[in-house]
Amino acid sequence: MTDKDFFNIWNHSSGDEVSKSEIRDSYSKVVRRIEKIEGQNGNRIHSKKLRKIFLYSLGTAAAIMAIAFLSIYAYKIYRPQKALAVAEPIEYLEVRAGAGEIKNVTLPDSSKITLNSGSLIIYPDKFAGSKRNVYLSGEAVFDVTHDEQKPFEVSTADFIVKVHGTKFNVSAYSDDDVVSTVLCRGSISVLNRCYDKEYYLYPDMSFSFEKKSGKIKIASVNADDVTSWTSGGLCFNNASIMEIINAVGRRHNVKIYLETDKYYQDRITAKFVHGETELEIMDALVRLMPGLHYRINSLGEIYIY
């Protein structure tokens, strides 16, 4: 209902004996009076108060039309304000796991997240809409509370994981060449942002995306190995030297530099599940990759050559 509609109701209730100019003038005065009271009462006027104002202005002959007018006008100025008062703002929270840290996060719906070193999760303080959406940069294991009415989604820079109450791992570090997700239990689908195509996974399956080539790979894996980092382990399956360097550096909060490109094509499969230090892992790489050497400077930084 517009202001023009309100004026027409006022006009019809005034009778033929009143001139058009008088009608417009009286209407303006009443509206200004209402607006003045609105300002004094924080934009809320009880409908009984409105009724008294209009009955006084119109007279008893127009009482019925006044009540109709008031009902519409009260709905216009009172109901929207009431709705706005009920709506509560949503605050977005950030949790970071620094280098060498692993953090546990509980979401508003009781879903559990284990955040790996060098990772960031952003989520609302309440899931008020039709979806439960969080943003991840880095790696995390999600144990999601089932809710058919509100699907759960994890957004990363390269893909979106859609969840239906399940446990899964997402690895989406900005400095990794490959990002991936692995399903532990339940079911998920992955929407790749580049191709706008959705992929469905079953337990012990992985989805990986190579950023440079755009290559997508679906493979069978051991989900327990992939998520072993939550208990201090590091497992690599056909990983590149850079993937290993990044993972070890984040886990042990140490800077590792690769001074040669002769190992770029090598792929490594290895498990470190006994709390190995960064130097023990380097020694293992020396045994696995003939010709690889490393040195440590006075700051504790590692250089591979």
Rounded CA separation 220/222 (Å) = 7
Give residue 32's pLDDT: 55
* pLDDT of res. 81: 46
What pLDDT does 236 receive? Answer: 94
Looking at residue 148, its pLDDT comes to 86
- The answer, yes or no, to whether residue 270 has pLDDT greater than 80, is yes
> What's the pLDDT band for 64 if we cut at 50, 70, 90?
very low
CA distance 140 to 293: 32
Tokens for 234, please give them: 């590091």
> For residue 237, which of 217, 253, 262 has the smallest C-alpha distance?
217
* pLDDT on residue 20: 57
> Lowest-confidence range among 17-31, 38-52, 226-240?
38-52
- pTM, to two decimals: 0.68
Residue 304: name the closest of 261, 252, 250, 251 by CA: 261
pLDDT (tens digit per residue) in 146-157: 998 899 999 999
Domains and CATH numbers, the chain: 3-86 (no CATH), 89-221 (2.60.120.1440), 232-305 (3.55.50.30)
Q: How confident is the model at residue 55 (pLDDT cuts 50, 70, 90)?
A: very low
Res 89: pLDDT: 86
Report, in this order, helix, strand and coil percent for the chain, each rounded to 5.
35, 30, 35
Strand partners, 235: 271
Residues 161-217: tens digit of each pLDDT: 999 779 999 999 999 999 999 999 999 999 988 888 999 999 999 999 999 999 999
| pLDDT score recorded for residue 26 | 56
Cα–Cα dist 58/37, whole Å:
18
- Per-residue DSSP letter, 144: P
Q: Tell me the mean pLDDT in the region 126-130.
A: 90
Residue 86 banded pLDDT, cuts 50, 70, 90: low
Q: Give φ, ψ of 292 to 5 degrees.
A: -80, 135
Q: Is the pLDDT of residue 123 over 90?
A: yes
Label residue 191 exposed, middle or buried (CB < 10 Å: 0-12, 13-18, 19+). Answer: middle
| pLDDT at residue 144 greater than cutoff 80 | yes
Per-residue pLDDT band at 42 (split at 50, 70, 90): very low
Whether 11 shows a pLDDT value over 90: the answer reads no
pLDDT for position 57: 46
Answer yes or no: is pLDDT of 114 > 70.
yes
Instruction: Report the chain's C-alpha Rg in angstroms.
Output: 32
- What is the rounded CA–CA span in Å between residue 172 and residue 231? 19
Beta bridge partners of 93: 123
In this model, does residue 58 exceed pLDDT 60? no
Helix H, strand E, coil C: the string for 51-109 is HHHHHHHHCHHHHHHHHHHHHHHHHHHHHHHHHHHHCCCCCEEEEEECCCCCEEEECCC
241-259 pLDDT per residue, tens:
999 999 999 999 999 999 9
Check residue 119 and give its pLDDT. Answer: 97
d(CA 188, CA 180) in angstroms, rounded, equals 13
Tokens for 180, please give them.
Answer: 């991936």
